[in-house]
Chain A
Amino acid sequence: MRGVFIINGQRKEIEFAPHKRLLDVLRENGYTEVKEGCREGECGACVVLLDGKPVNSCQVLAASVMEKEIITVRGLGTIHKPHPIEEAFVEAGAVQCGFCTPGMIISTYALLKENPDPEDDDIKRALDGNLCRCTGYVKITKAVKLASKKVKKDGK
């Protein structure tokens, strides 16, 4: 079947099989920044924003989200002009192997939209669905706090 998705602000017409998951449709069409860590809805590596809400794209049928707005980590900033959250992740040292990072950044974006001033506990709760095996989550939590400051300053 064919359908239109609004990905990172651009309308995209995509041909896909009706049973395909959003994760596969995105990855097969060049959005490889959305990672597959489990396909079980457990790891959060595949998190994207769907109409502003974070979802595990491996648990979403692509056919059910046509015409909806999808944002991946590449939709937030560019390599020359990273989003303040992305910048905060680098500064805080929250990136190691990087496989969890795109999902973590999207979940952080969603959290800061809801709660611009999160405490440690809010952060841990918001990121509970994003597994990271490298960092022990310490620097990720720091990055979120730093991001919260930066976002406020930038007014984003």
Chain B
Amino acid sequence: MGDISKPVRRFDAPEKIMGTARYVDDYFEEEMLFVRIVRSTRPRARIKSIKLPKLPSGYCVVDKNDVPGENRIKMIFDDWPFFAEDVVNFYGEPILAIAGPDREKVYELSNAVKIEYEDIPPIYTIEESEENKRPPIFGENNLFADYFYEKGDPDGAFRDADQIVEEEFRTGFQEHIYLEPQGMIAKYEDGRITVFGSMQCPYYVKNALIKAFGFPEDRIRVVQTTTGGGFGGKEEYPSQIAGIAAFCAYKTGKTVKLVYDRAEDVEFTTKRHPSRIRIKGAIKDKRVVGIEVDIALNAGAYAGLSSVVLQRAMFAATGAYRIDNVRVLGKAFATNIVPLGAFRGFGAPQAIFAIETFMNHVAKKMGEDPVRFKLAHRYKKGDTTATGGLLRSEVRLPEITEKIIEMSEYYEKKKQKEKDGKLYGIGFSMFLHGCGFTGNGEEVLKSIARLKKRKDDKVEILISNVEMGQGPQTTLRKVVAQVLGIPMEDVIYENPDTDKVPDSGPTVASRTAMIVGGLLYRVAKELKEKWKEGEEVVVEKQYRHPEYIKWDQSTFKGDAYPEYSWGANVIEVEVDPLTYEIEVKKAYAVFDLGTPLDKKIIEGQIHGGMLQGIGYATLEVMEFENGRFKQRTITDYIIPTAMDAPLFETDLVVEPYKNGPFGAKCAGELTLVGAAPAVCAAVEDALGINLYEIPIRPEKLLVLMNKEDN
């Protein structure tokens, strides 16, 4: 690991420790209006009538008739309206908004709006959506996406198998709980709409507003404010809030603030897709030689990004394993639940949980040690992936595994069955993550990154990617400074403003360091050649995948990603023998995420991502009952606290990617995907049973163990 990996002081830290960093809710203006959204209180219904309270002067209602352009949030299918039209499709869907100068009065007025509904039979589960017995929500069959791909001869593999193993896995909702709730401030001045707020993707918001207003692009400006965490939750959803705030600003001519309170944020913003994943494996000579994976996602009321989430899940379906005969099916089902959306890992956590747990179960069935069994199936350099892409770089899973086994004393501990009166278990997972956008995403996007060397010899990074805690303010400065051979302090990187920065794409898919950072690296190289002291020099470049990357989006064949990061996790748990309460005691991780651009920042990503993955597997329960979530606040929806956090031990193995800056690959999502299966394997080890579902809840374990006993 070279110089670049050496930790430096984070550039965004000083103002954050002082509390002077300004998040969206920290901006106050005289004469600012507050907005409250009036939401559907039915999961699925026709709106029959709306009765408004008498509005005092200075207060106004904004609804679908106030959308100057199209009442659709720009995404993939554009089916999601800013305000419901005649029909509401989920509990909490925005119907109208009330704006006014006094926040409490606005709340009071919004509570006084009376809406009459005529209910339509709702659809909540994958099964109900699949049966299609009720009026469909989307198209004729409720399917936002229905995909399929194959490799080799899966039918042949099943025909010739010694044994066929079939299992079904379930994963639950997960809510992001970024500590800063979502929010936007909008203004309408001189014929232009400007929106400031908490977001990952300024150009997503800008494009959504262009469509919603029908304005030319120079009349829309979007500026990111310091963002208190995103984790995917601020990928597509901010467009919803930005739109409503902007419509209010447009109608009133005033500055408008729309910040969600926590309860609103927990109940009504996007979450991770629940899934049902069926895996059928053809076993020959104790090896999985063929596999069929059928992935169903509960996608909620509108398509949003679900089709792409499904693609990532499908491309991760065989995990880190080379299986030559593969069939993968995927469907994203419409239901009357909030639209499910982007969340760190983007479909991969569901798929990796399923394949890892499946591989554990098969290993046990074959009487083999899961670690060795997995190693025997792992990908190697030169193998083709499930979609037929070529693995061009060294796959250092043996080294990763060796390190983690030694570090965790896995085999010694595996013998242990009890500790301090608790049932003890240890579990292992092995996995990969595709870096950057899925499929043809980067090719469609054609990101542009720009560097501007000013007359004072300082250099501005001009990109649309944001700092939300993951560190690019520091890591990208390091990359540019190091290439140019100038001090980091001479590199300027401000929160993006679409008036100033080109579209370098969204801050998602772990693409900022590898893709945008790689592009900046090349821009900086060119700037170095063109450097003229005391003069302004601007260099920009557009991203293209390396020539050798081949992908066919219509058949899902080829390199689904330009590169992969790899990892292994080991988790130790203690389970109470009476209550089945699970304590995650220790978490180990070894990752190959290429060259770390800053070791300390990477460690921060690892700890935070793994704990989020551990939460996903254990504490984070979100249940849907009678058309509504049961957990509506952070009192009900539990995320890990300091007391729940295990001890961590982590290490890196570095296989650099030649097109990443200094060899960096993807990191942010990789850290989350392996935790849940490792926790599951550990609990299975402690209890001596097989599990098929996350979150793993003590109540359910109790039932399972009672069954076992009988």
A positions within 8 Å CB-CB of B: 27-28, 32-40, 42-43, 45, 72-74, 77-79, 82, 86, 89-91, 93, 95-102, 105, 123-125, 127-141
Contacts and interface: CB of A to CB of B under 8 A. Distances in A.
A101 B469 CA distance: 12
A36 B19 contact: no
A134 B228 CA distance: 9
Given A32-B19, A96-B604, A98-B21, A132 B610 contact: no
Contacts of B12: 95, 98
18 contacts: A33-B19, A79-B15, A90-B10, A93-B7, A93-B603, A93-B604, A95-B12, A96-B229, A96-B470, A97-B180, A98-B226, A99-B179, A134-B179, A134-B229, A135-B607, A135-B608, A136-B610, A139-B603
A103 to B, nearest CB: 9
B52 interface: no
A131 B64 CA distance: 37
A127 B180 CA distance: 18
Given A124-B645, A136-B611, A42 B229 contact: no
Nearest to B177: A133
Interface in B240-269: 261-263
A78 B18 contact: yes
Contact of A97 (B17, B179, B635): B179
Given A82-B17, A100-B179, A42 B604 contact: no
B641 interface: yes
B547 to A, nearest CB: 37
A98 B470 CA distance: 11
Given A37-B181, A138-B648, A82 B18 contact: yes
Interface in B10-24: 10, 12-23
A37 B20 contact: no
From A27, A36, A127, A139, residue with most partner B Cβ within 10 Å: A36
From A42, A97, A133, residue with most partner B Cβ within 10 Å: A97
Nearest to B15: A79
A87 to B, nearest CB: 8
B606 to A, nearest CB: 8
B607 A45 contact: no
A77 B600 contact: no
A42 B13 contact: no
Contacts of A98: 12-13, 16-17, 21, 226, 228, 469
Interface of B: 7, 9-10, 12-23, 25-26, 28, 176-181, 226-229, 231, 261-263, 468-471, 600-601, 603-604, 606-612, 633-635, 639, 641-643, 645, 648
Given A98-B226, A99-B229, A128-B642, A73 B9 contact: no
Given A90-B13, A90-B14, A101-B17, 6 more contacts: A32-B19, A32-B26, A82-B17, A98-B469, A136-B608, A139-B607
B604 A137 contact: no
B178 A124 contact: no
B19 A90 contact: no
A33 B642 contact: no
A105 B228 CA distance: 16
A127 to B, nearest CB: 4
Contacts of A95: 10, 12-13, 16-17
Contacts of A102: 17, 19
Contact of A99 (B180, B262, B609, B610): B180
A101 B424 CA distance: 35
A156 B26 CA distance: 30
Given A28-B28, A73-B18, A139-B604, A96 B634 contact: no
Q: Is the interface of A mostly helix, strand, loop or mixed?
A: loop
A18 to B, nearest CB: 13
Nearest to B587: A136
A134 B645 contact: no
A51 B604 CA distance: 34
B262 A40 contact: yes
A134 to B, nearest CB: 5
B23 A35 contact: yes
A130 to B, nearest CB: 7
A137 B634 contact: no
Contacts of B179: 35, 37, 43, 45, 97, 99-100, 131-134
A95 B11 CA distance: 10
B18 A125 contact: no
Contacts of A90: 9-10, 13-14, 17
B583 to A, nearest CB: 13
Nearest to B8: A93
B468 A135 contact: no
A139 B604 CA distance: 7
A2 to B, nearest CB: 19
Nearest to B19: A33
B639 A141 contact: no
B580 to A, nearest CB: 23
Contacts of A35: 19, 23, 179-180, 228
Contacts of A38: 262, 633-634
A141 B178 CA distance: 20
Given A98-B226, A135-B607, A42 B634 contact: yes
Contacts of B639: 131, 133
A93 B601 contact: yes
A148 to B, nearest CB: 16
A101 B633 CA distance: 21
A97 B10 contact: no
Contacts of A133: 176-179, 229, 231, 608, 612, 639
Given A33-B20, A42-B634, A93-B600, A141 B180 contact: no
B468 A97 contact: yes
A99 B17 contact: no
Contact of A127 (B14, B21, B611, B642): B642
A101 B15 CA distance: 10
7 A-B pairs closest in CB distance: A33-B19, A136-B607, A97-B469, A98-B16, A99-B228, A96-B469, A136-B611
A98 B643 CA distance: 20
B472 to A, nearest CB: 12
Given A38-B262, A133-B612, A97 B19 contact: no
